[in-house]
């Protein structure tokens, strides 16, 4: 089951496209990391999936083919934004009461038990809670809806390292306990590397690469070798990024073959595995001296994965 599936999806605000020609399939049962610079279209994509905005172009379905924004989809998706809509003057107990009145599906005992476990007093006003406690309150409200898909838009941005760790631990516990799918947008690559099963890199309103994290890492290599032979390497493997350094070049290449087999194509070059941060940054940079052929990794279904 795909929890999000789009074809040619686009969203325009006046004359500017925030998202354009976005085609991607997000598998269910996984923690999906959505990464990109500010203005890349991450919030737009998540808002469209959560039914908070209407596409300008293309098609979008969620939860195995349900139209995004439809009543049956809205009841099964919970959305937590960076600036969660919490009423600062209300006690946490009343905030739960407001949320309960706005949702057709609600688990009050779970919400109260979770806040008690976290040591968040029900009688304390939301504005007097720490940033981490407010994030946990927003997450508690989302989980009390018993969603199938949890959408998190930059929930870690304003949190300190300890609060980030505790928040993500709570998310992973919900994934393990409830079997929900999670799509998480964040700039904190260290946290994403620890929890993400699937990666989508978005830049300039378009998907740059998407696939299972393990497969993507296995399907790329960092090469260092003679700059004069860069073109020969590019003829054998798509070059994602090229960084000249005097007489040498540093390349990130997409192998599409097991490392031992692909190594035969670059004699005299040093090769090493790529990390998640290096992979993401390479796809976000402007193309280097060698331009790779068009990417096909973001197509729906099986084509959206790199074969290691």
Q: What tokens appear for 159 in the block?
A: 């949190």
Decide if 168 is inside a domain: yes
DSSP 26: E
Count the neighbouring beta carbons within 10 Å of the beta carbon of residue 287: 11
Tell whether the torsion through CA atoms of 300, 199, 205 and 290 is positive or negative.
negative
- List, for residues 264-300, the tens digit of each pLDDT value: 667 888 889 999 999 999 999 853 323 333 333 333 3
State the Cα–Cα distance between residues 255 and 306, nearest whole angstrom.
9
Q: What is the pTM of this model?
A: 0.86
Q: Into how many domains does the chain fold?
A: 2
Closest CA to 55 of 27, 79, 23, 33: 23
- List, for residues 225-241, the tens digit of each pLDDT value: 999 988 888 888 889 99
Decide if 303 is inside a domain: no
Residues 176 and 271 in one domain: no
Q: Using pLDDT thresholds of 50, 70 and 90, give the confidence band for residue 259.
A: low
Max CA pair span of the chain:
69
Q: Tell me how many helices (H) and strands (E) the chain has.
A: 11, 14
Decide if 182 is inside a domain: yes
Residue 284: CATH number of its domain: 3.30.70
Decide if 73 is inside a domain: yes
Structure-derived torsion over alpha carbons of residues 127, 173, 79, 211, reported in degrees to the nearest 10: 140
Residues 163 and 251 in one domain: no
Q: 248 is in which domain, residue-wise?
A: 219-294
**In the listed set 179, 211, 243, which residue is the last one of a domain according to the structure?**
211
Mean pLDDT of the chain: 87
pLDDT higher than 60, residue 306: no
């Amino acid at each position: 089951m795909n929890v999000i599936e789009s074809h040619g999806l686009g969203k325009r605000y006046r004359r500017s496209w925030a998202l354009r020609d976005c085609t991607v399939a997000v598998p269910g049962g996984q923690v999906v990391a959505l990464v990109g610079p500010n203005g890349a279209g991450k919030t737009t994509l998540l808002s469209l999936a959560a039914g908070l905005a209407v596409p300008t172009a293309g098609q979008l379905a969620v939860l195995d083919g349900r139209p995004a924004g439809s009543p049956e989809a809205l009841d099964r998706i919970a959305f937590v934004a960076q600036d969660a809509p919490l009423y600062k003057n209300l006690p946490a107990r009343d905030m739960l009461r407001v949320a309960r009145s706005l949702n057709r599906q609600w688990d009050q005992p779970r919400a109260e038990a979770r806040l008690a476990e976290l040591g968040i007093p029900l009688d304390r006003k939301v504005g007097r809670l720490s940033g981490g406690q407010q994030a946990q309150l927003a997450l508690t409200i989302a989980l009390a809806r018993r969603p199938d898909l949890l959408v998190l838009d930059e929930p870690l941005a304003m949190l300190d390292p300890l609060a980030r760790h505790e928040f993500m631990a709570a998310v992973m516990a919900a994934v393990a306990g409830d079997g929900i799918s999670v799509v998480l947008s964040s700039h904190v690559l260290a946290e994403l590397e620890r929890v993400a099963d699937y990666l989508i890199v978005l830049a300039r309103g378009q998907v740059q690469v998407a696939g299972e994290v393990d497969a993507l890492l296995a399907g790329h290599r960092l090469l260092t070798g003679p700059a004069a032979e860069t073109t020969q390497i590019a003829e054998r493997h798509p070059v994602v990024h090229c960084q000249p350094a005097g007489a040498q070049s540093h390349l990130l290449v997409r192998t599409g073959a097991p490392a031992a087999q692909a190594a035969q194509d670059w004699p005299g070059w040093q090769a090493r595995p790529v990390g998640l941060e290096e992979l993401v940054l390479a796809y976000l940079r402007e193309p280097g001296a060698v331009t790779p052929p068009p990417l096909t990794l973001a197509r729906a279904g099986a084509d959206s994965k790199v074969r290691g």
